Amino acid sequence: MRIVQACRKLGLEFVCVHTAEDIHSGHVRIAKELGGEKSLYQVSSYHDANEILSVADDAGATAIHPGYGFFAEDFRFARRVTTRERKLIFIGPSWRVIRELGDKINTKRLARSLGVPTVPGSDRPIYDEMEAEKIARSLYDFQLQQGITRPLVLVKASAGGGGMGIEEVYDIDQFRSVYRRIRNYALRQFKDEGVLIEQRICGFNHLEVQIVSDRSGKNPVHFGTRNCSIQSTGLQKRIEVAPGFDSSSIEYDFDADKLLEDITRHSLALARKVGYDNVGTWEWIVTKDGSPFLMEVNTRIQVENGVSARISKVKGQGDVDIIAEQIRIGLGDPLGYTQEDITFEGVGIEYRLIAEDPDNRFTPWVGRIDAFGWPSHPWLKMHTHVPTDESYEIPTEFDPNLALAIIWGENLEQAKERGMQFLDELTLQGENQSGELKSNVNFLRANTGRILRF
């Protein structure tokens, strides 16, 4: 829906795809309202590249926006889009950049060559079980020497992202079976068996740097930092806050302002190194003593781009639309501003409203939503595909994400107060055969007080 709105803002025509299960989704409604029936195509699957490209050809499209999902970081899809007989523009980084940074192992190697701190562990694909176990044992031994009484390592699909394809291993005797499982998963899901063995960093905050660059790849800028530390048990983000730390109201054991400067500087250095040419996110973990480690680069626009946009101004103009910027520069426009033109004001909080049961390992809830609404406020932005004027059956084929709520405040305390006000005023009701709708609203409420803290 935000992509459609950005197209209209830029004066661009669009077409949308939808599956049969998504016929009642808000993006179908908004496409009809803004583009008419000709703006809609039904497909059997969002993951069928042939169908997507057939739609593009039939509609006479000149560009494809891959959204936030798997296609957005699939260099093979991006390459196919731009090199087929009827060439299209891929709204995202060039396929070569996606390939180069989409591999966590290669990203780590590039980062280390620039002196960018990375998580201890392998910096090349590990395909041999014996070698993988040897690396894991060395990381266990290192942690024991550091006084960690219960060491563990992470086994990660190098081409994964968004918390997918990651498992923790506490018992070295279980390592080989986990390694095999992740390698098989990576092959099925990402068509790449590459596996990364890393030391698990404990007691950290998860920060991100929002990078934007035009097709020249020479002048990247950042739109600040986000803190995404409040997550589900499956490492899926639930609350995002911009900026990533707040030294004006929270006392840290390190110089938080310098830390934010360091990770943005490192992120821009790596972006310049590879000639990054669209929107992307540099993901960091920061320990309680202020040690930063680059975790990975997401070579796509992320769902949470809006909370960074909310606190940003370009040449004094607020209400930045990073999706519109992505499309504009993706089509070849120069960036048109420098880092000195970007300023920041206030604090933004983004809540992900999801039909799930946080008390039962965040198990998805499926059923009918009967009432969904909220009072409007100048400090609140809501993004949702769920209708507010009629009931809505949550499709079982997709994750039950309901909405993104972005709250702005002049400072952290005001943003938190407004966030709690929003959650208290929210109406979200529904049911299924087992009872009333379950959501993460209480989880969001309970965790608002600890944002930006360790």
Domain CATH number, residue 160: 3.30.1490.20
Average pLDDT rounded to a whole number, residues 341-351: 98
Burial class (CB in 10 A: 0-12, 13-18, 19+), 360: exposed
Q: Which segment of 113-122, 253-262, 324-333, 385-394 scores lowest on mean pLDDT? A: 113-122
Q: Quick one: pLDDT at residue 413? A: 98
Residue 170 maps to a domain = yes
Give me the pLDDT at residue 333, please: 98
Kindly state whether residues 270 and 330 are assigned to the same domain: yes
Domain-located, residue 249: yes
CB 104 within 8 A of CB 294: no
- For residues 82 and 147, membership in a common domain is answered with no
Q: Are 173 and 222 members of one domain? A: no
State the average pLDDT for the chain.
Answer: 95
Q: Indicate if 25 and 42 belong to the same structural domain.
A: yes
pLDDT of 162 over the 70 cut: no
Q: Band the pLDDT of 105: cuts 50, 70, 90.
A: confident
Say if residue 126 is in the same domain as residue 161.
yes
The pTM for the full model equals 0.90
Q: Which of 203, 204, 143 is nearest to 172 (CA)?
A: 143
Q: Please give the torsion angle defined by the CA atoms of residues 62, 162, 309 and 375, in that order, rounded to the nearest 10 degrees.
A: 110
CATH of the domain at 75: 3.40.50.20
Residue 280 located in a structural domain: yes
The closest of 146, 162, 260 to 200, measured between CA atoms, is 146
H-assigned helices in 114-218: 129-145, 175-190
Show which of 136, 170, 199 is a domain's final residue: 199
What range defines the domain where residue 11 resides? 1-99
Same domain, 194 and 171: yes
Same domain, residue pair 149 and 282 = no
Residue 105 lies in a domain: no
> 402 and 374 share a domain?
yes
Confidence of residue 203 (pLDDT cuts 50, 70, 90): confident
- Report the percent of the chain where pLDDT is more than 70: 100
Q: Is the pLDDT of residue 147 over 90?
A: no
252/285 same-domain check: yes
Domain annotation covers residue 112: no
CA distance 346 to 414: 9
Q: Is the pLDDT of residue 161 over 80?
A: no
Measure CA 434 to chain center.
32
Asked if the structure places residue 110 within a domain, the reply is no
Same domain, 188 and 310: no
Distance CA 78, CA 76 (A): 5
* Residue 1: closest CA among 57, 68, 62, 59: 68
Q: Note whether residue 434 is domain-resident.
A: yes
Are 189 and 164 spatial neighbours (Cβ–Cβ below 8 Å)? yes
Q: Which H or E run contains 237?
A: strand 237-242
| Same-domain status, 95 and 136 | no
Show which residues are catalytic: 300
The residue out of 164, 182, 199 marking a domain boundary is 199
Average pLDDT of the residues in 278-282 = 98
Residues 145 and 183 reside in one and the same domain: yes
Give domain status of residue 377, yes or no. Answer: yes
Does the pLDDT value for residue 54 go beyond 70?
yes
Domain count along the chain = 3
Structure tokens at 62: 């000149």
